Each structure stands twice: as structure tokens, then as C-alpha cells.
Amino acid sequence: MEKIIALNHKMNMDYDEVKNYIQKLKKLELNPIVFPTSIYAIEFIKAGFKTGLQNIYYHSKGAYTGEVSPIQAKSLGVSYILIGHPERKELFDETDEEVNRKIKCALDSDLKVILCVGEDKDEDYKSAIKKQIDSYLKGIDREIIIAYEPMWAIGKNIIPCHKKLEEVINYIKSFFNYDVKVLYGGSVNSESIKTLNDVNVVSGYLIGTVSTDINELEKIKEVVK
């Protein structure tokens, strides 16, 4: 099965860089899901890319200055929402309850959810992931996609070994009564992908730091496709 390639641009690139990047990304024929900085989402949608937002709010409309609702995203042509990214938790104090509400609200607007889970460096992965899945998905039985993003691997140029990654992905899958797709994210680049891509249970990759680098994406494509 074809691997899912999700590109998390985080808060990178200005408008001119985005326009230039889009031209190059089109030529790459990578078929990614792009998570640009939200103000640029429309450009990716117009260019025909599957497009997501890196965050969303949990109300449909109202006096919530600075926020974007799932209904607004959907009406623009956004199809995916990334929820619970470790940077949202670490830097913006996003709580488990907020993550849960965001998932519900996004699914209610027929958006596809990619939910991040993963342990911190001192945590046991089993208990950390169980706790996250239990609280994030409380009262939710609709299908979602999971991204396993160990916090210790994000932006650090280290990745889990083959055995650990396989073990964690199978552990995550055991919580779901459908064949949940589990992506891996954390220091995915043109070097690490050579090791990562041997792990068959991985459904795809959530690429951060190198997602704005077309040369890196080209090399990743050579390994994955």
C-alpha cells in the first residue's frame, strides 16, 4: 500500500517562498498531505494539494479572537487537521480535554483527523500512549489516523530503532477495532528514512524540519515510492 506522506511546515516560509515551493512540489509528484502555516492553506488547495491545518479550535463560530473553526476550514477546502502535536502541548499548554474537544469538533465537520501521540524521554511509552489515547479519544468512535511522534525524537535527529518502532506501532494498533493507519513522525529526513522505511507496519510519515526542503523530499520520495 502506498505510504502517506504528510508535511508539517510548522511556522516556516514567507509568502514568496510558499509560491516558489508550490511550483517545485507540483513537479515532484509526491501526492502529500500538506500542513502549511494556516494563512497559506488556500494556495495549496488552489494548487490541488490535499491540505490540512496544523491546529483547529473546538467551536464552530463566535467571539474567539485569533482562532479558526473546523467549519471555516472545511468551507475553504481543507480536508485534514493535525491535532495534539507535541509542540502545541509543550509550548501552548494544550490540555488533553482540549485535544478531545478539537477532535470531536473536527470530525463533526467531516474533516479527517491526524492525532499525535507519543512519549517524552523519561516516560514509559506504554503508559504514556495509553493515557493519551484514553483521554484524547474519550467518547469518540469514528475513524482517525494516528501519528506516533515520540517527543524525544522531534527535531533532534534521532529515531527509534526498528524493533521499538514496530513494537510501539503494534501497541497503538491494539487500541482500535479497525485497521488504524499509524504514521511515524520525528526526525524523518533523507538519511533516517532509509532505516524507517524497513518497518512495514508504518503507514506513512509526518515530516517536519525537512518538509520545506524540496531536495530532501525528492530523496525521501526515492526511498518511499
Nearer to ligand PGA, 38 or 187 (CB): 187
Number of Cβ within a 10 Å radius of residue 106:
28
Please identify which residue in 84, 150, 185, 204 interacts with ligand PGA, judged by CB under 6 A: 185
Residue whose C-beta lies closest to ligand PGA: 208
Residue 117 near residue 133, CB atoms below 8 Å: yes
Q: Which residues pair with 117 in a beta bridge?
A: 148
Total residues contacting ligand PGA by CB under 6 A comes to 12
d(CA 59, CA 64): 9
Q: Pick the piece of the chain touching ligand PGA (CB under 6 A) from 57-65, 90-98, 124-132, 200-208.
A: 200-208
- Annotated active-site residue 216? The verdict is no
> Distance between CA atoms of 68 and 57, rounded to whole angstroms?
6
Please state, in angstroms and rounded to a whole number, the distance separating the CA atoms of residues 26 and 47: 8
208 binds ligand PGA (CB under 6 A): yes
Q: Select 23 or 215, whichever has its Cβ closest to ligand PGA.
A: 215
Find the distance separating the first CA and the last CA of the chain, reported in whole Å. Answer: 10
Q: Is 29 a catalytic residue?
A: no
Lookup result for grid cell 504528510: 6
The one catalytic residue among 94, 119, 149, 216: 149
| Least distance between ligand PGA and beta carbon 16 (Å) | 23
Binding positions for ligand PGA, rule: CB under 6 A:
8, 149, 154-155, 185-188, 206-209
Task: Report, as residue numbers or ranges, the catalytic residues.
Answer: 85, 149
